[in-house]
Amino acid sequence: MQALWKFLALGILIIFTKTMAQSQVNYDESKVPALHLPSLFISEKGEVIDSREKWEAIRKPEIFRLFQTEVYGQIPKDFDEISFEVTKRSNHQFDLIANLEEVDIKIRRGEKTHVMRLNVFLPKEMEEPAPIILLINHRQKAEDGSLAEEGYWPVAELIQKGFATASFHAETVAPDDIQRFSGGILTNLYPEQLDKKDGLKALGAWGWGAMRAMDYFEQHEAINAKKSVLVGHSRSGKSALWTSANDPRWAITYANESGCGGAALSKRKFGETVEIINNAFPHWFAENFKKYNGAEESLPLDQHMLPALIAPRAVYFASSKDDQWADPKGEYLSLQIGSQVFSRIYDQESPFKLSFEELKGPVHSKTLGYHIREGEHGLTWGDWSIFLEFVEQVW
């Protein structure tokens, strides 16, 4: 009984805090501060970055270090052994068109071992190794990895289009919960990260999980890991972007409505802010990120630098009109500004000629894309179908 009261009181406190925080949220464009974004093309020592050599040797590592120290924390790359135990399952809901592999990925570091579960659907009919789409899933969990929410992970549609598709749940790597998040790989494999101000947190841990999934794809004869797509919605979208900045094996990265700490520019302070997100989800970002609560102007970077770190590999952002919490304009602007690295350094076309207000529909070039759709926050079949048109012209 006492536990029930505690639970109810905690629930009321969370709702109260969220309502208080939301009542102070800015949704008024005229109150957005003048944007002073750190330059992509001037190094910390003041050097002008005007070539691929200088970008890759000087500015890119500087920016990567800033994100690692100040925002997301490290993603440790070392372990001693990885192995895959595969159970092939029939009698699942896509049995007619797909084979399901339930994979236990076993990772050993020193004396300790962690097992994460990955679910992979492969088309039954294919002439050559299939391109792979991985979804980082923080939503509802089901035995075979399928999800109740329609459209979130459209396995049948992806299979029919010739993709293999896989997903793992956040829970299997680092639970999305302030009390429990360290119970996954943090305690099991990388406990020394827990005390660091720039140590691994949940968003980075999910990224680590995506990397282990990629290890599996790379050795799979029915999968073409060179044609790989990493997809994340909302909090998983934040994670997908940071993952891809760490791991160049992803050919295409799609962050759907990833908002604050993902696609959206923090310095606009529109919708969710650094303070709100750090208070609500203290287990997502590095401890250091809390220094910027209410002080976005002092951030030595902003989110336009994240797609720039992924260049020249393809990046796609999407927003929805009613999801002002995620700041759709801030999401578009960060990709538009970040795309300068694609165009000036890598000589690729940027499709973002129009201002956010002038957009009439999706904008795609060969390696960059954005769309905003009607409706609320969510990853829908509508989002997927526009995104897949983009994917099909990347390769």
Task: List residues near ligand GTR by CB under 6 A.
Answer: 234-235, 259-260, 272, 277, 280
Angstrom distance (rounded) from CA 373 to CA 318: 8
Nearest CB to ligand GTR, comparing residues 259 and 330: 259
Least distance (Å) between residue 73 CB and ligand GTR: 17
Least distance (Å) between residue 259 CB and ligand GTR: 5
Nearest CB to ligand GTR, comparing residues 155 and 277: 277
Nearest CB to ligand GTR, comparing residues 199 and 262: 262
Least distance (Å) between residue 277 CB and ligand GTR: 6
Nearest CB to ligand GTR, comparing residues 88 and 180: 180
Least distance (Å) between residue 260 CB and ligand GTR: 5
Torsion of CA 248, 249, 251, 252, to 10 degrees: -70
Cis check: omega of the bond before 328, within 30 degrees of 0: no
Least distance (Å) between residue 96 CB and ligand GTR: 32
| Six-digit token string for 350 | 């940027």
Residue nearest to ligand GTR (CB): 234
Least distance (Å) between residue 268 CB and ligand GTR: 15
Nearest CB to ligand GTR, comparing residues 97 and 280: 280
Nearest CB to ligand GTR, comparing residues 105 and 255: 255
User: For the chain, what is the radius of gyration of the CA atoms?
Assistant: 21
Nearest CB to ligand GTR, comparing residues 75 and 379: 379
Residue 346, amino acid: Y
| Six-digit token string for 266 | 């923090």
Residues 6+ positions from 282 with CB-CB distance below 8 Å? 178, 290
Edge-first strand order for the sheet with 164-169 is 81-89, 98-109, 112-123, 164-169, 130-137, 223-233, 252-256, 314-320, 368-373, 363-364
Closest residue by Cα to residue 294 from 24, 89, 44 = 24
Torsion of CA 152, 156, 157, 162, to 10 degrees: 130
Nearest CB to ligand GTR, comparing residues 135 and 159: 135
If you write DSSP's letter for every residue of 287-350 in order, what string do you get?
GGGGGGTT-GGG-S--TTHHHHHHTTSEEEEEEETT-GGG-HHHHHHHHHHHHHIIIIIT-PPP
Angstrom distance (rounded) from CA 121 to CA 124: 9
Least distance (Å) between residue 4 CB and ligand GTR: 25
Least distance (Å) between residue 184 CB and ligand GTR: 18
Least distance (Å) between residue 76 CB and ligand GTR: 24
276 - beta bridge partners? none
Nearest CB to ligand GTR, comparing residues 17 and 355: 17
Least distance (Å) between residue 171 CB and ligand GTR: 15
Nearest CB to ligand GTR, comparing residues 132 and 205: 205
Region of residue 83 (left: phi > 0; alpha: psi -120 to 50; beta: else): beta
Q: Read off φ and ψ for residue 207, nearest 5 degrees.
A: -60, -40
HSE toward the beta carbon, residue 255, CA cutoff 13 A: 33
